[in-house]
Amino acid sequence: MEIDFAIICDAETTVQKINNKIDGSPHNPLNKCVCVSYVLVPLNSDYELSEADITTDVYYHKDQYKTDDPAEFQFALDRASVFVAHNAKFDYNWFTQMGFKLPEKTHCTMLGEFIYARGQIKPLSLKETAIRRAVSLKKSDIVEGLFKSGVGYEAMPLTTVKEYCEADVVSCYQIYKQQVNDLKLPENKSLTAIFDLMNDMLLFLVEIETNGIKIDLEKLEKVEIDYSNEKRELEDRLQQISISVMGDTPINLSSGQDMTKLVYSREVTNRDLHKQLFNIGIGANGKALHQPRMKPGRFKDVVRQTTKVIQRTIVQKCVICNGSGRQYKLTKSGVPFKKQPRCGTCVGEGVIYTPTGKTAGLRLLPRGAFDASINGFKCDKVTIQSLIIQAEQKNRPVAVEFLTKVSRLNAVNTYLNSFVNGIKVWTRNNNILHPNFNQTVARTGRLSSSNPNFQNQPKSKDFPIRAAVISRFENGLICEADFSGLELMVAGEISRDSQIISDIEEGKDLHKQTGSIIYQCDPSEVTKEQRSLSKKYSFSPLFGGMGAGEEPHIQEYFKQFFVIYKGLKKYHEELCVGVLDNGIVQTPSGRQYYFPNAKRTRNGRITNYTQVVNYPIQGFGSELTVLACIRALERFKRAGLTSKLILTVHDSIVVDVAPDELESVKNILKDAMENVPEEVKKRFCYDMLLPVSVEIEAGKNWMEMEEV
């Protein structure tokens, strides 16, 4: 009888430094694979592995002039039916780039630890996993010092590299055995399907990372110029508004203290008392302290105790030091001091700011204790949106303009730093960008990406940076297939709320419904602007949003939402009861999230309420997109197309389409995505009630697209 084998692998490579980040990517042409250690073990066996069983092939090292024959490693790969490694995507990516033919089934022990963590934050490195599971420790101490001093694996003593790499294989194998055995336990039965799902998705990620994204650097440069010009204009106008409301008081828009002065017209007078009364700081558990509940009267009293109203100022040169900021003093012998003391009158600034008696700033009000911060009061992007609404209600157009422009400036800075600069830095010399996609960062199981961050971009399809994503093929196209309304569909699917189901079937405009409640008018009277402003609130209750601290008319929406969607409210309540009973929330796929020590709070909810009701919707929605990706990859391979899968972001799949293949790509994506319910049934034994809806667009770049 033929024996099935697993191959346990670990590769060590050279690395480069880019912007102080380690780049070990196989897509960096300067990187080389130093060596690979591997061993074949029979599947489902209790074989006790030692380092003597392991083979190490050396491909690039200063101590070995002739490289080992890669055919030996390929022979071992050919005998294996499962590829096992810790952070297997890294090794699989490398071996794919090196031209090896690999098993199509993987078991990543890092993914396994993430799945078993059930949404809890645990260190997932091989070293930490080995310690937690009490298996053979990898010998990181023998290379850490060398690595930190700048010595790469290719320059370390070869015996040291081999010992380190082979110890990793032993640790990984022992973890693998434990994980396989743990799956047999009754409490882990549902996780088997998640192991398969995440490991299958790993192969899709290898595919899109290998294919990469073609970047139009000229277009990117134009986007950068446009954003830089906009940034300057925003900063100039914000400075003008600052002068108009603050007088001559200098304001740094990046300073929490200065923004408190400008926005709230107050400054902290007693920092320690402010921190104490508002319970600001970090607790013994390393988390931010919970700020106290305060009635409006008590909150006002505390604000008056710890802060004061500030006034506009007029600046004048200090007559004492004549604007120098220093007092001119002589020693007893009549010689000037080498370092003149600071002027006590102007505190070394050279100028005096004289209050005018007129209140400075925008005179907006913090909503409650939750708005307090160490520098006064919050001015983060979420709080700013609420302050804009407050300013609109108070009919203060200057405040609205200032806050809107601050919000836009924050966004532009993010676009320039994270996206434009990130893409420029990590795009290779052939104009192909190979982002690194992460499956073990977001607790819900959603993807994230790094080098650069390509996931957290705005959902808007007119985001200018999308225009820099183009086809690598002459006369090629970029095609995107997107699940529409996925979040609401998933909420209706798993809660079985009859009203959500009805709204989806009828195609109701949910954002207009939101606007009609917030602005207290008929849905037909909701303006385009009101609908746009309402979007951010429409689905917030799905994910545990309660409208805390919002204006009363917005809080009314959060109350009315669960009057309309009673089935969803009941589902949320059932989740809470289940968590109080066993600490577990489970999605229809079998993925689990663990909330230990859950308890009722004084307001009748439970601890971690937002995560308890949010994770199942985020998680299952993500899994539907993952299934679509897996199905698309299978169909692309079967069809033998030249077109390339290049990206998944939010709830979509993006393809670089070769000439004359658009119709084939469209049909594959349509089938892969619209028939996801069949895959759900096959993998998870779950019958979906609602269909999924898919929109497909194509164009010369990722921004300028039309429906196809």
User: Which amino acid does the sequence have at 305?
Assistant: Q
CA-to-CA dists, residue 296 to 266, 271, 368, 489, angstroms: 18, 21, 7, 39
CA angle 14–19–24, rounded 5-degree value: 20
The string of pLDDT tens digits covering residues 480-513 is 999 988 988 999 999 999 999 998 888 888 888 8
More confident residue, 602 or 548: 602
- Which one, of 260, 235, 230, lies nearest residue 246 by Cα? 260
Asked if the model's pLDDT at residue 209 lies above 80, the reply is: yes
What is the CATH code for 431-486+620-707? 3.30.70.370
The string of pLDDT tens digits covering residues 580-601 is 999 999 999 999 999 998 899 8
643, 665 Cβ separation under 8 angstroms = yes
More confident residue, 22 or 530: 22
Nearest-angstrom CA–CA distance, 708 and 26:
35
164, 138 Cβ separation under 8 angstroms = yes
Asked if the model's pLDDT at residue 111 lies above 80, the reply is: yes
The string of pLDDT tens digits covering residues 555-568 is 888 888 888 999 99
pLDDT of residue 672: 97
Overall size of the chain counted in residues: 708
Q: Look up residue 260 and give its two tokens.
A: 């408190």
Nearest-angstrom CA–CA distance, 488 and 419:
29
Whether the model clears a pTM of 0.85, i.e. scores above it, the answer is yes
DSSP secondary structure, 231-279, as one string: HHHHHHHHHHHHHHHHBT----TT-HHHHHHHHHSEEES-HHHHHHHTT
The string of pLDDT tens digits covering residues 150-187 is 899 999 999 999 999 999 999 999 999 999 999 999 99
Nearest-angstrom CA–CA distance, 260 and 667:
55
Which residues, 6 or more positions from 689, have their beta carbon under 8 angstroms from its beta carbon? 492, 493, 496, 501
Q: Look up residue 20 and give its two tokens.
A: 């102080």
Q: How far is CA 289 from the centre of its chain?
A: 23
Sign of the C-alpha dihedral computed for residues 239, 240, 243 and 248 taken in this order: positive
Q: For residue 355, list its beta bridge partners.
A: 313
Give, in words, the CATH class of 5-182: alpha beta
Nearest-angstrom CA–CA distance, 345 and 543:
55
Q: Sketch the domain layout of the chain as residue ranges.
A: 5-182, 238-408, 431-486+620-707, 488-586+596-605
pLDDT of residue 627: 98
Q: Residue 2 — φ and ψ, nearest 5°?
A: -70, 135
Cis peptide bond N-terminal to 552, omega within 30 = no
pLDDT of residue 44: 82
